[in-house]
């Protein structure tokens, strides 16, 4: 039997007894270093900054299920192409959910005999150069309006509390096609999590920003300059902090 010496495997399952049994099996049969996690979120934290040679994961799990875990893993730099074996007791139903997108994904029904498990793992790892028969679709997440509204509410609250602006209202979003938005100053914060990545940005026209900066600095500001431009960054930092309180 082929041994995977010095190979590192991540095993994920919310059933403690099964996770321990899987760990022992892989250590004995493959002579591999096995790292464990009892839910998808913890698995992602462990895989975000360390490279694994194989990931064996359950599918129906708390906090981050199998599909979301795979989606998150494929967004990382460290495990974009790591072979993943979905080892699950819901084989038939999950099989119907899997759609083409990512490579190096295979599926095995749980429980299986040790020989079948090890053979499946060896074939998956050996066949990494080709497209496996199962792949998982990278699904476009639905927009959560509560998520977006938290940023909008925080922006309104911050500007009303820190400036003389009042009774602020927000309108429906709109898109400028093939033309500049025309703001004079802007600031942004990059946000990234296991299931979300994006940029929180804010921009002001000059007259609006100078009015806000005058309130913040308690002195009349006549033009955008080195002394007041940091105010845009400070505003978005406060908005972001206020949004996190909401979350």
Predicted confidence at residue 35, as pLDDT, reads: 94
131 pLDDT band, cuts 50/70/90, is very low
State mean pLDDT over 14-32: 91
Report the number of secondary-structure helices (H) and strands (E) in the chain. Answer: 8, 7
Check: CB of residue 74 under 8 Å from CB of residue 80.
yes
120 and 163, same domain (yes or no) = no
Collapse the DSSP code of 114 into the 3-class scheme (helix H, G, I; strand E, B; otherwise coil) and give the result.
helix
Q: What percent of the chain has pLDDT over 70?
A: 81
**Mean per-residue pLDDT of the chain:** 82
Average pLDDT rounded to a whole number, residues 13-36: 91
Top-confidence range, 17-31, 103-117, 171-185: 17-31
Q: What is the pLDDT of residue 3?
A: 47
pLDDT tens column, 65-97: 888 888 888 877 788 888 999 998 877 677 666
Q: Which domain holds residue 239?
A: 145-246
CA distances from 122 to 65, 96, 117, 162, 223 (A): 24, 24, 9, 61, 66
Contacts of 216 (CB under 8 A, 6+ apart): 162, 163, 231, 234, 235
Residue 138 lies in a domain: no
Helix, strand and coil percent figures for the chain, each rounded to 5: 40, 15, 45
CATH number for the domain harbouring residue 111: 3.40.50.2300
Query: Quick one: tokens of 182?
Result: 């025309």
- Same domain assignment for residues 116 and 160: no
User: For residue 235, is pLDDT > 60?
Assistant: yes
Task: Give the chain's domain count.
Answer: 2
More confident residue, 98 or 242: 242
pTM for this one?
0.54
Statement: residue 44 has pLDDT above 60: yes
d(CA 151, CA 42): 27
CB within 8 Å of 223: residues ≥ 6 apart: 206, 210
Domain boundary among 96, 126, 156: 126
């Amino acid at each position: 039997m082929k041994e995977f010496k010095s190979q590192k495997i991540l095993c994920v399952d919310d059933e403690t007894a099964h996770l321990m049994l899987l760990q022992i099996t892989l250590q004995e049969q493959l002579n591999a270093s096995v790292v464990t996690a009892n839910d998808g979120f913890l698995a992602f934290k462990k895989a975000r900054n360390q490279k694994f040679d194989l990931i064996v994961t359950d599918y129906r799990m708390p906090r981050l299920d199998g599909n979301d875990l795979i989606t998150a893993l494929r967004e990382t730099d460290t495990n974009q192409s790591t072979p993943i074996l979905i080892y699950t007791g819901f084989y038939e139903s999950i099989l119907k959910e899997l759609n083409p997108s990512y490579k190096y994904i295979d599926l095995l029904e749980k429980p299986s005999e040790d020989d079948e498990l090890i053979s499946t793992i060896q074939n998956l790892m050996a066949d990494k150069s080709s497209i496996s028969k199962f792949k998982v679709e990278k699904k476009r997440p639905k927009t959560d309006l509560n998520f977006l509204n938290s940023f909008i509410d925080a922006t309104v609250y911050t500007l009303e509390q820190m400036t003389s602006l009042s009774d602020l209202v927000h309108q429906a979003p709109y898109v400028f096609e093939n033309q500049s938005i025309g703001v004079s100053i802007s600031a942004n914060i990059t946000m990234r999590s296991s299931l979300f990545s994006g940029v929180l940005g804010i921009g002001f026209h000059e007259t609006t920003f100078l009015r806000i900066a005058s309130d913040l600095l308690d002195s009349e500001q006549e033009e955008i300059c080195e002394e007041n431009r940091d105010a845009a960054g400070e505003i978005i930092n406060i908005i972001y902090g206020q949004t996190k309180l909401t979350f």
